[in-house]
Structure 1
Amino acid sequence: MTNIPDLPEAAEALEHFPFDDARGIEVNERFRELRQRKGLLRVRLAYGEPTWLVTRYEDARLVLGDARFSRAMSVGRDYPRQEEATELAGLVILDAPEHTRLRKLLLQALSRSRMEAQRPTLHAAADDLLSSAMNAGPGMDIVVDYAQQMGVLSFCDLLGVPASDREVFESISAALLPGSAVGPEDRMRRFGAVRTCTEQLIAERRARPRDDLMSAMIQARDEEDRLTDTELIDLVFSLLLARFETIITQIPNCVYVLTRGDRVLWNRLRANPAELPAAIEELLRNNASAGAGMFVRYAREDVNVGGTLVRAGEALTVVNESANHDPARFEDPDAIDFTRPPGGHLTFGHGAHYCAGAQLGRIDLQEGLGVLLTRTPELTVRDITWRERPHIRGAVAMRVTWQGGPE
């Protein structure tokens, strides 16, 4: 008897995603066609098994918010991704009930009042960094000299990291910068140093609590249930990576959009600073900052998504930059409109995995951009080096100057 094998899903039989080299933050025109066609497109990323692309807004909300789609099923699988090997850990890859428990405890600690209390620290950090840059010359690399440093300082202050250990967190942030020359072994050594510092901080705060996030996470409880040391460490790393990416990516991206062309948007916000929160929401929606492979889910059962029957065990990749430009949800989606009704964009996700620190990310941007708008009215982007094929789309380097800088 002759065995007839299943037809292989040859790599050449499927289109590769992303559709471009991921440089810049403009939304690829191909998504317009995909949103109009019936069904989903099956593609391959650089590594891993095939995945269905989810490009329409309602389909994206379904996949992100429905318990029939799992993040935890990615663990131990050759899941779709852009990097050769990425270890999955932390809150982002858990499903209920484990995810529900940890998220509830985290949100107890990361309260709205605690996040709002960060404003003075964030403002002071941004102000000091800009002053240092101005004293040094007529320009700076807004990625390394401003956004990265602001991210480290504000994260360490939030967590309660002592000044003597902040160099360790700055070291790992430098290793995570796109285009960093830090090799894999050195990167792992730096992660190990951060882990050691975190373990020491946990032990100290258990013995002597303070008014900081680490103490609040240690004290958070659900009846008699508390976070273990391992869970605390995983949450610290998750928060570090999320906070770092928000600040280091979105501040330069927003500056780039606001100052290009005839600078109408930049000048408008300078004249109307009360519009900044609404402007940030619109920029978060408009900018194509989340790259391929960020939102992989697996179907727990057969589910119809956008006219395609997705079989149990198949992967889906939500492309939130496309969903955020879906005209079925947003009128004139390619326009930047600061008066657009707030809410609805998927940049911070949706459903159970909606970013726990989304409000803190908004505060980061409001303070970081607010200082630049107030103090550098003539800020101009002179030179940009874009990342290529990253998880997050943005700049490796972005040189800016202000009044008096070189033309």
Structure 2
Amino acid sequence: MSETRNTAQNPPAYPFNEAVGIEVDPIYAKLRRDEPVVRVGCPFGEDSWLVTNHADMKTILGDPRFSRALAALHDESRLTPLPIHTSILGMDSPDHTRLRRLLSRVFTMRRVELMRPGVERVANELLDGLVARGAPGDLMEEFAVPMAGAVICDLLGVPFEDRDDFRQWLDAFSATTVMTAEETQDGTDALHAYIAKLTRERRADPREDLISGMVKASDEEERLSEKEMVELISVLLIAGHETVSSQLIDSLYVLLTHPDQLAALVRRPELVPQAVEELLRYVPLISHVTFARYATEDVELSGTLVRAGESVLPAIPSANRDEAVFENADRFDIGREHNPHLAFGYGIHRCLGAPLARLQLQVALRVLLERFPGMRCAVPFEELEWKDGMQVRSLLKLPVAW
């Protein structure tokens, strides 16, 4: 096994640059070519190996020799003030399998597809409101956010009218530089307390929603603890609300800034599913890296030896621009056919909600393009503002005319 290693006493600080819009730092391309596994120091926690290419990414995300659970025993390398060891995101098998099996019954392709008419109805109702108020309209706060919120709240059984409260708590999970450790902890505690209250209400008055089903599984089958249940529901709410709405608004921005691709999609709406996959690849939704994994034994990655107990950081936006896998990787192309992107992760931690996220993105694009085929940004692109200091990239507003 190779012993090629970066032995620098003071590894370079990561992230190398702040995330700007949806740009992918050009340093990643150089690293993929010259040093695909490099030692870095993060703002919080211990030093780690940064992994940038597609092949190694699949290894660290899918190989059981890399553990998420071990992060709890370390000062995890991270960009957030506090570690995020929340429920299923911080587990290995068999605990991870136990929780995933519980949820897999909900997020089947068949069950998600049955939700399509309801999602279409929500999308059309939101656009009705946008038209009634007149152009310009903000696709972020008047479409992307309420659409994602309505779908996940209905599925879980979270009151949509509480969104002004829980949206501010959701930021605590992805804040990097905009919150202190104390503010992050306060937001997390508030969200968990809110979810715990909902579980108590569903225990007393069950309904046809996911929270009621999880409470039943906890009480009757002892499938998960109260803490696991609260943390798991919190993760689902975050992913279904903030992540989906951010991916949708960033996707619309990409289409508006690529008018030739947008026009092609208007002409050929049958390409919407393919376009969604390309948008998932092209949009670097995660600003920098996802959660660290720890090697349980010595593993070689691209000629670099990662020793047992050392951590690796997966830079998924870099892997999705790997020239060895994607032809013309920096080009946005809705006609791309070979597209093994890692936007939903890989291996046992691959996003369970991927089918639902895909459905929402497909419905949103199809309905928008049918009703607003001449949609255009209502302000110069350079005037658009992006969220700062967050792990997920997102526009604050996207004003459009039609």
Q: TM over 0.5, yes or no?
A: yes
1:226 matched to which residue of 2? 223
- The CA distance in 1 between the partners of 2:180 and 2:148, in whole Å, is 22
1:373 matched to which residue of 2? 369
Q: How does 1:108-123 map to 2 (within 5 A)?
A: 108-123=105-120
Aligned partner letter, 1:401: V
Question: How far apart are residue 217 of structure 1 and its match?
Answer: 3.4
- The CA distance in 1 between the partners of 2:43 and 2:295, in whole Å, is 21
- The CA distance in 1 between the partners of 2:136 and 2:324, in whole Å, is 42
1:169 matched to which residue of 2? 163
Say whether the 8 Å CA contact 1:303–1:310 is kept in structure 2. Answer: yes
- Given the alignment, which residue of 292, 305, 329 partners 1:309? 305
- The CA distance in 2 between the partners of 1:183 and 1:41, in whole Å, is 28
In structure 1, stretches of 5+ residues that fail to align are 1-7
Deviations 1:319-363 (A, max 9, x none): 111111112212222222333235521110000100011111111
The alignment partner of 1:233 has SS state of: helix
The alignment partner of 1:147 has SS state of: helix
Question: How far apart are residue 153 of structure 1 and its match?
Answer: 1.2
Say whether the 8 Å CA contact 2:81–2:181 is kept in structure 1. Answer: no
Say whether the 8 Å CA contact 1:299–1:311 is kept in structure 2. Answer: yes
Deviations 1:358-395 (A, max 9, x none): 11111121122222212222222324112334312232
- The CA distance in 2 between the partners of 1:113 and 1:218, in whole Å, is 23
- Given the alignment, which residue of 61, 69, 74 partners 1:77? 74
Identical counterparts, % of pairs: 36
2:289 aligned with 1:289: no
TM-score (norm 1): 0.86
- The CA distance in 2 between the partners of 1:64 and 1:135, in whole Å, is 46
2:52 aligned with 1:55: yes
- The CA distance in 1 between the partners of 2:324 and 2:180, in whole Å, is 45
Judge which range, 23-32 or 110-119, deviates more: 110-119
Deviations 1:219-253 (A, max 9, x none): 559x9552333322221101011112332211111
1:124 matched to which residue of 2? 121
C-alpha spacing 1:100/1:370, structure 2 compared with 1 (3 Å): same
Judge which range, 61-70 or 188-197, deviates more: 188-197
1:94 matched to which residue of 2? 91
Q: Cα RMSD (Å) of the superposition?
A: 2.8
Say whether the 8 Å CA contact 2:192–2:231 is kept in structure 1. Answer: no
- The CA distance in 1 between the partners of 2:149 and 2:48, in whole Å, is 35
The alignment partner of 1:317 has SS state of: strand
The alignment partner of 1:41 has SS state of: strand
C-alpha spacing 1:112/1:346, structure 2 compared with 1 (3 Å): same
Say whether the 8 Å CA contact 1:281–1:342 is kept in structure 2. Answer: no
- The CA distance in 2 between the partners of 1:232 and 1:15, in whole Å, is 39
Aligned partner letter, 2:146: Q
1:394 matched to which residue of 2? 394
2:268 aligned with 1:269: no
C-alpha spacing 1:96/1:227, structure 2 compared with 1 (3 Å): same
Judge which range, 91-100 or 203-212, deviates more: 203-212
- The CA distance in 2 between the partners of 1:40 and 1:87, in whole Å, is 24
In structure 2, stretches of 5+ residues that fail to align are 1-6
Aligned partner letter, 2:25: N
Say whether the 8 Å CA contact 1:53–1:316 is kept in structure 2. Answer: yes
1:35 matched to which residue of 2? 32
C-alpha spacing 1:365/1:233, structure 2 compared with 1 (3 Å): same
Say whether the 8 Å CA contact 1:152–1:173 is kept in structure 2. Answer: no
- The CA distance in 1 between the partners of 2:364 and 2:182, in whole Å, is 33
Question: How far apart are residue 101 of structure 1 and its match?
Answer: 1.1
Displacement over 6 Å in runs of 4+: 178-190
Q: Aligned residue pairs: how many?
A: 388
1:249 matched to which residue of 2? 246
Structure with more strand by fraction: 1
2:154 aligned with 1:157: yes
The alignment partner of 2:398 has SS state of: strand
TM-score (norm 2): 0.87
C-alpha spacing 1:44/1:194, structure 2 compared with 1 (3 Å): closer
Say whether the 8 Å CA contact 1:106–1:220 is kept in structure 2. Answer: no
- Given the alignment, which residue of 313, 319, 322 partners 1:323? 319
Deviations 1:169-207 (A, max 9, x none): 342114445899999888767765654553454345456
- The CA distance in 2 between the partners of 1:183 and 1:52, in whole Å, is 25
Say whether the 8 Å CA contact 1:109–1:220 is kept in structure 2. Answer: no
Judge which range, 267-276 or 139-148, deviates more: 139-148
Say whether the 8 Å CA contact 2:107–2:355 is kept in structure 1. Answer: no
Say whether the 8 Å CA contact 1:81–1:292 is kept in structure 2. Answer: no
2:167 aligned with 1:142: no
- The CA distance in 2 between the partners of 1:176 and 1:197, in whole Å, is 12
- The CA distance in 1 between the partners of 2:81 and 2:188, in whole Å, is 19
- The CA distance in 2 between the partners of 1:190 and 1:30, in whole Å, is 34
